[in-house]
């Protein structure tokens, strides 16, 4: 089984169980207040296997599948060869953690703040693909026509930053933003260290040329 399908399976099973078991959801979601005071560091990872409802889960997993399969089966193997699946898994898992670190420091003393979902990691996967193929056409449910990946990326980052600054609601816009940034940085660094490829130069040539 591919890494992408395995992650989707584990996430779906955990999410569906937590839909009906409120205590499990409370034990696993991201809760900075509890992490700081009770040392529950596992919450940095476990929140990524939970979702608020079925639509939240479906949207994240459909997005993840679309870009995850492309990375795992095509884009990463070209760059990383036999290491591609390990690099892919490492990026996803670490993105779950990194995407919520800013919110940890922001809300560690506020007991009301809690969040859940794989959005930060999914954003990392999407932006990793964009980093490798900046002109790849992207079309989501709310975008009627395909647009170049880098244009979508710029718009997504600006929107996430603006909504995060505005605050309110239950959507982790900070996680979207930092997950996206991390996906780009991780992919660029891994390409330089493992494949000795400068994706920044390729990105610039693809966009300008």
State the Rg of the chain over Cα: 17
CA 101 to CA 68: how far, in whole Å?
23
CB atoms within 10 A of CB 107: 21
Residues 6+ apart with CB under 8 A from 93: 45, 121
pLDDT score at 43: 97
| pLDDT beyond 80 at 64 | yes
Closest listed residue to residue 52, CA positions, set 104, 15, 23: 15
CA distances from 161 to 41, 58, 93, 173, 208 (A): 26, 24, 23, 7, 25
- Residue-wise pLDDT tens digits, 22-48: 999 999 999 999 999 999 999 999 999
| Mean pLDDT of the region 154-176 | 73
| Mean pLDDT of the region 107-113 | 93
| Mean pLDDT of the region 82-98 | 97
DSSP of 44-80 = HHHGGG--SSHHHHHHHHHHHHHHHHHIIIIIHHHHH
Alpha helix (H) residue ranges in 47-197: 54-70, 76-80, 84-98, 101-107, 119-132, 149-166, 173-190
pLDDT more than 70, % of the chain: 94
Residues 6+ apart with CB under 8 A from 109: 33, 36
> For residues 113-137, b (16+ Cβ closer than 10 Å) or e, as one string?
ebbbbbbbbbbbbbbbbbbbbbebe
Helix axes 54-70, 119-132, angle to 10 degrees: 30
Confidence band for 95, pLDDT divided at 50, 70 and 90: very high
Structure tokens at 84: 């591609």
CA 181 to CA 56: how far, in whole Å?
22
Provide the residue ranges of all domains of the chain, joining segments of one domain with +.
Answer: 3-208
CATH 1.10.1740.10 given to domain 3-208? no
Cα angle 175-176-180, degrees, rounded to a multiple of 5: 110
pLDDT score at 162: 80
Closest listed residue to residue 49, CA positions, set 20, 16, 3, 90: 16
């Amino acid at each position: 089984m591919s890494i992408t399908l395995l992650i989707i399976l584990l996430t779906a099973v955990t999410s569906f169980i937590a839909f009906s078991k409120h205590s499990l959801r409370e034990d696993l979601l991201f809760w900075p207040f509890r992490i700081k005071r009770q040392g529950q560091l596992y919450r940095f990872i476990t929140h990524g296997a939970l979702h608020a409802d079925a639509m939240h889960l479906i949207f994240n997993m459909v997005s993840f599948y679309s870009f995850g399969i492309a990375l795992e089966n095509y884009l990463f193997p070209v760059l990383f060869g036999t290491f591609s699946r390990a690099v892919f898994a490492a990026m996803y898992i670490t993105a779950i953690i990194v995407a919520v670190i800013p919110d940890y420091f922001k809300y560690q003393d506020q007991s009301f703040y809690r969040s859940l979902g794989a959005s930060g990691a999914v954003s990392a996967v999407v932006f990793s693909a964009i980093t490798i193929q900046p002109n790849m056409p992207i079309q989501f449910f709310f975008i009627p026509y395909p647009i170049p990946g880098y244009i979508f990326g710029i718009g997504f980052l600006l929107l996430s930053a603006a909504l995060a600054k505005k605050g309110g609601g239950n959507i982790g816009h900070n996680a979207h933003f930092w997950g996206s940034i991390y996906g780009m940085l991780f992919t660029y660094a891994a390409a330089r260290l493992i494949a000795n490829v400068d994706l920044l130069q390729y990105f610039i040539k693809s966009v300008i040329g």
